[in-house]
Amino acid sequence: SIHVDTSLTIKSAYKQNHLRKDEFGLLPFSNIGQTYNTLQYSLTNFSPYPEIGFSGKHFNYMEADQIRYYSVPTPLTELFFNTTINKGQNVDSFITLNTSKNLNFSIAYKGLRSEGDYINQLVSAGNFRFTTSYFTTDRRYSINAHYAFQDISNEENGGITTPADFESDNKDFKNRQRLQVYLTDAKSFLKGRRLFFDHAFRINSKEGNNNLYVTHQFNYENKFFEYNQATVLSTVGTTPVMRFGESYLTSGINDQTKYERLYNKVGVAYENTLLGKFNFFVDDFRSNYEYGRVIVYPSGDVVPNNLFLQINNFGGQYEYQKNKWNGRFLYSRSITNQSLSNLDAKLRYDYNDKIQFDFRYRNINKLPNNNYNLYQSSYVQYNWSKNFKNEKINLLSASVLTPWLNAEVQYTVLKDHLYFEDVSKPAQAAVNTQIINPAQYGNAINYLEIKASREFKFGHFALDNTLLYQKVDQSDQILNVPDFVTRNTFYYSSHFFDKALYLQTGVVFNYFTKYYANDYNPVIGEFFVQNKKEIGGYPLFDLFLNARIRQTRFYLKAEHINAIFSKSDYYSAPNNPYRDFVIRFGLVWNFFQ
């Protein structure tokens, strides 16, 4: 359960963004609602089931486990607002109410429109959510359900063609509309609908020391990804460029990918007040990933039009909560032809009210996402049919929360790691052609992360610090991350006007060391590995003024203020500059009825 928090803290200020969460470890592109480069690799989510792919398009896509359910004594409303880049706004409105103690409804919509600073960069997105929760008075039956409809539209400019113009001291290029981009009329579109419910029925009529439940989870979702590009040829200076190589079409590219999946999990759970809860289940996962044609090459090679999967798993889960210990242990394995397994063990120890230890081990044998094995495009070299091995992920982590220091350590071993790479031949690269294909790394990748945070307070002043260290051991440069990422916030806070106003003001410093950041390809909506250009090594300073009046929090921020007088050498990815100086305003308003 999560209580509604209307306080103003530096932690809540970090969440005043489009994702509504702390963006530490993520590097946003210049416009609000574009994709993010991942600085902290451990933020990557792993699911044993194959997803549609297009991971660069999913940062703002809310998955089933991100939907919250509520129970409130009185109706609760929250309104979120933020200004964006140039024309547009970002809003998120939410209301929840209980019609009775047993039944709750909520409805929410997040909308975004942001023009951006560069040519062909408009973002328009919407996330609609409806939830309901119900339980009988004796709690014999309970259900959580939601429906979500989401659409994310991005104009795609493919990055700037001439970084030297961006980095120059020429004042004409301070107007970013004068910088030439690779794509002037391309756009991508991701749409998804989901119906989800999770319910349980207790077989014994009265709750006692021993309880037996029947559980069922249902998840149906369909997604649609589209890449449009009216004009095939790009221009660098005055020279025509085939940015993504040869095309079957001379104009009007319209690549479409359709995906739907159906998931059912049925289980029986035994609960004992002393021993904990044992749950045994079977599940059925079905997905269809589809294109509108079959491609047959003169060589006889075929790129099929769909990829259908049916996977059945058997597994068990044990939950234990007693005194200071809290644990959950999950294991599942496929009983169909696919080799699929998932082991996830979590353990928490509460030393006291202020000190907490967490431990986790995870072992995943994961099927590739669909777009690694199958993709079709109007671009000739963006068509493939593969049969990659499963990815194997071993993860061990530990964390501690104390009043003096919060710290976590994670060690991950990746085997048969899948990624995208630029396979352009030297002659193609010389004329700015970019050909991206999937690849699998046969050697092991060892990843170590150490992260620590601590806030120091001196009267009305405070210094909040977060430091991340990462180390990768690999034979080739496949998994590239910065060695250090840091965020340091120095601020002043106090009450004014007989405590009617609470105010925070200060400066945020963000920095990460130079590294070969992944680049972004709009045709496939994915990042790919590159080892030609480093980014990073530049400071980012934000000035802010936050205030709270009753249940309303106000946020005023001057982002990247040092861009006014520093050199333009800041990038989110090669050819994709980071955000310039901008002043933004936002608020969060909670009210109860």
Domain boundaries, position 496? 10-592
Q: Which residue in 154, 152, 155 sits closest to 184, CA to CA? A: 155
For residue 3, pLDDT beyond 80: no
For residue 243, pLDDT beyond 60: yes
In-domain check, residue 49: yes
CATH of the domain at 536: 2.40.170.20
As separate numbers, helices (DSSP H) first and strands (DSSP E) second, the chain gives 4, 36
How many other CB atoms are found less than 10 A from the CB of residue 484?
14
In-domain check, residue 135: yes
Query: What is the SS3 string spanning 203-243?
Result: CCCCCCCEEEEEEEEEEEEEEEEEEEEEECCEEECCEEECC
In-domain check, residue 1: no
For residue 132, pLDDT beyond 60: yes
d(CA 151, CA 190): 6
d(CA 586, CA 463): 23
Residue 593: its pLDDT value, please?
A: 57
How many other CB atoms are found less than 10 A from the CB of residue 345?
16
Residue 68: its pLDDT value, please?
A: 95
In the three-class reduction of DSSP (H, G, I as helix; E, B as strand; rest coil), residue 547 is classed as: strand
**Is residue 123 within 8 Å of 31, Cβ to Cβ?**
yes
The helix (run of H) or strand (run of E) holding residue 537 is none
User: pLDDT of 192-202, one tens digit each?
Assistant: 999 999 999 99
Mean pLDDT is lowest, of 99-113, 148-162, 293-307, for: 293-307
Q: How confident is the model at residue 293 (pLDDT cuts 50, 70, 90)?
A: very high
Q: Which residue in 285, 284, 288, 311 sits closest to 224, CA to CA? A: 288
Residue 149: its pLDDT value, please?
A: 99
Looking at the structure of the chain, the number of domains it has is 1
132 token code pair: 């309901």
Q: How confident is the model at residue 127 (pLDDT cuts 50, 70, 90)?
A: very high
User: pLDDT of 472-481, one tens digit each?
Assistant: 999 999 999 9
Residue 5: its pLDDT value, please?
A: 73
**Is residue 209 within 8 Å of 203, Cβ to Cβ?**
no
For residue 239, pLDDT beyond 80: yes
In-domain check, residue 345: yes
329 token code pair: 């242990």
In-domain check, residue 5: no
d(CA 132, CA 98): 10
d(CA 69, CA 283): 23
In-domain check, residue 492: yes
In-domain check, residue 4: no
d(CA 84, CA 123): 10
**What Rg do the C-alpha atoms of the chain give, in angstroms?**
25
Residue 2: its pLDDT value, please?
A: 55
Residue 520: its pLDDT value, please?
A: 98
Return the bridge partners of 27, or none.
37
Residue 338: its pLDDT value, please?
A: 86
Q: Which residue in 346, 383, 343 sits closest to 366, CA to CA? A: 343
User: pLDDT of 307-342, one tens digit each?
Assistant: 999 999 999 999 999 889 999 999 999 999 888 999
d(CA 534, CA 233): 28
Residue 6: its pLDDT value, please?
A: 79
Q: How confident is the model at residue 7 (pLDDT cuts 50, 70, 90)?
A: confident
d(CA 333, CA 150): 31
Residue 591: its pLDDT value, please?
A: 86
- Strands 384-385 and 391-401 turn out to be unpaired
In-domain check, residue 490: yes
Q: Work out the percent of the chain whose per-residue pLDDT is above 90.
A: 96
Mean pLDDT (the chain) is 96
How many other CB atoms are found less than 10 A from the CB of residue 60?
23
User: pLDDT of 59-107, one tens digit each?
Assistant: 999 999 999 999 999 999 999 999 999 999 999 999 999 999 999 999 9
- The DSSP 8-state label assigned to residue 444 in this structure reads -
Apex 532 CA angle, 484 and 473, nearest 5: 45
Over residues 449-460, mean pLDDT:
97
Over residues 361-390, mean pLDDT:
97
The helix (run of H) or strand (run of E) holding residue 372 is helix 370-373
For residue 123, pLDDT beyond 80: yes
For residue 500, pLDDT beyond 80: yes
d(CA 372, CA 421): 12
Residue 166: phi and psi, rounded to 5, are -65, -40
User: pLDDT of 413-444, one tens digit each?
Assistant: 999 999 999 999 999 999 999 999 999 999 99
**Is residue 244 within 8 Å of 203, Cβ to Cβ?**
no
Q: Which residue in 191, 85, 186, 69 sits closest to 135, CA to CA? A: 69
